[in-house]
Amino acid sequence: MLMKVLHLIDSGGLYGAEKMVLNLMEEQIKMGDSPMLLSAGAHEDGVKAIELEARRRNLPVTPWLMKPGLNLCESVRIARWAKSNGYQILHSHGYKFNILMGLQKLSGLKLPLVTTLHGYVHAPRFSKLWVYEKMDRVFLRLMDRVCLVAPHMLDLPIVRRLPENKIAVIENGLPELQPEEQEANLGPELEQFLKGNTFNLLAVGRLSPEKNFSELLRAVAREPLNKMQLGLCIVGEGGKRSELERLRKDLGLEPKVRLLGYRNDVPGLMKHFDLLVIPSLTEGLPITLLEAMRAGLAVLSTAVGGIPQALDQGRAGILVESNSCSQLFEGIKRAVNDRHDLIVHTRAGMRAFEARYTAIAMAQKYRSVYSVLPGQKKPTKPGVTF
């Protein structure tokens, strides 16, 4: 049965949630369904990274220009457009469309609503995002299904308030690594930097407080790591960039640390590194983690979110406590000093990826969720953890 699914997102880059949506769409097309990406953005945003990547993958995308914030008039237009174009399911990725489409459901929209919670970061009290967070908690109750990317999210207060029959746990998945993804254009400066080190660390993510890259810099600055031929590259952009640049200078790490900005070739970069470090304070199930497991890159991570389960409680990677510079320091030192242990972790990670985190498994589970929505065909086989 063909399913026409409209994926709704207001994207700020090409990070885990965006990659997951595109991976899901690719598999949905292979399964015979008809997904569309509606990418909301303001005029001043220009062409968004997710739109460029969708076009590179030959995925259908509709850029939707609208004023920032909760634009109610545009939400009406989007709902009418979706209905007139025959979409059977609206799939939201983020609080903005949870609220906007929830308002449309209150106004009589009959299309089923699904949302995926890719992670949940609490905003500062009384901030604008804090208000949106409060609204999101209300409108999640209007969703026909709320999908979580990792089992630990079942314990979130915002999820515990929801009826159990509305919740599905569907872990993120990746497709097979394509030949064009296996190479990265390092450039002469980065290539020389990596070759000049005996051990290279990679970190990937938005330069935002919850990613906790400042503690990673402090860990690398401690003896004896600061005296080793150790290199660290951080891929990503965000509001904390200037702060990280100042900290790098203050700690004397300018020769050892590179801030590479946003890059779309992370899978190809990975083969040039010895260890992926995830120092986050909070996570769902990071796509970067799954990319490392698929690529055979060893992982050191804080034990947050769905990461401990993905790394088999430390048998497929090194787990450390969150928000602890000393724990990060000890974990990195352990990785540098025991290459054999890293190989064991890497092999276990690759096995775990093949068993649980492929894109086709993810897409089949979403299809099962869609199939039990109002007006949809019942699933022929179970595929969802409720």
For range 373-379, the mean pLDDT: 69
More confident residue, 43 or 385: 43
Q: Are residues 296 and 339 in the same domain?
A: yes
- CA 355 to CA 242: how far, in whole Å? 40
Q: What pLDDT is recorded for position 128? A: 74
Do 63 and 41 form a contact (C-beta atoms < 8 A)? yes
Do 79 and 109 form a contact (C-beta atoms < 8 A)? yes
User: Which residue stretches of 251-303 are H helix?
Assistant: 266-269, 287-295
Q: Are residues 108 and 195 in the same domain?
A: no
CATH number of the CATH domain containing 273? 3.40.50.2000
- Whether 385 is covered by a domain: the verdict is no
Q: Are residues 122 and 228 in the same domain?
A: no
Do 274 and 203 form a contact (C-beta atoms < 8 A)? no
Q: Are residues 203 and 68 in the same domain?
A: no
- Which residues, at least 6 apart from 110, have a Cβ–Cβ distance to it below 8 Å? none
Q: Are residues 138 and 202 in the same domain?
A: no
- CA 278 to CA 301: how far, in whole Å? 4
Domain count for the chain: 2
- Whether 127 is covered by a domain: the verdict is yes
Indicate the pLDDT class of residue 383, thresholds 50, 70 and 90.
Answer: very low
Which residue range(s) make up the domain with 332?
A: 179-356
Q: Which tokens go with 383?
A: 């595929």
- Whether 378 is covered by a domain: the verdict is no
- 239-278 confidence digits (pLDDT tens): 999 999 999 999 999 999 999 999 989 999 999 999 999 9
- Whether 379 is covered by a domain: the verdict is no
On the question of pLDDT at 209 being above 60, the answer is yes
Q: Are residues 202 and 164 in the same domain?
A: no
Q: Are residues 147 and 197 in the same domain?
A: no
On the question of pLDDT at 79 being above 60, the answer is yes
- 316-332 confidence digits (pLDDT tens): 999 999 999 999 999 99
Q: Are residues 112 and 153 in the same domain?
A: yes
- CA 190 to CA 176: how far, in whole Å? 27
Q: Are residues 131 and 206 in the same domain?
A: no
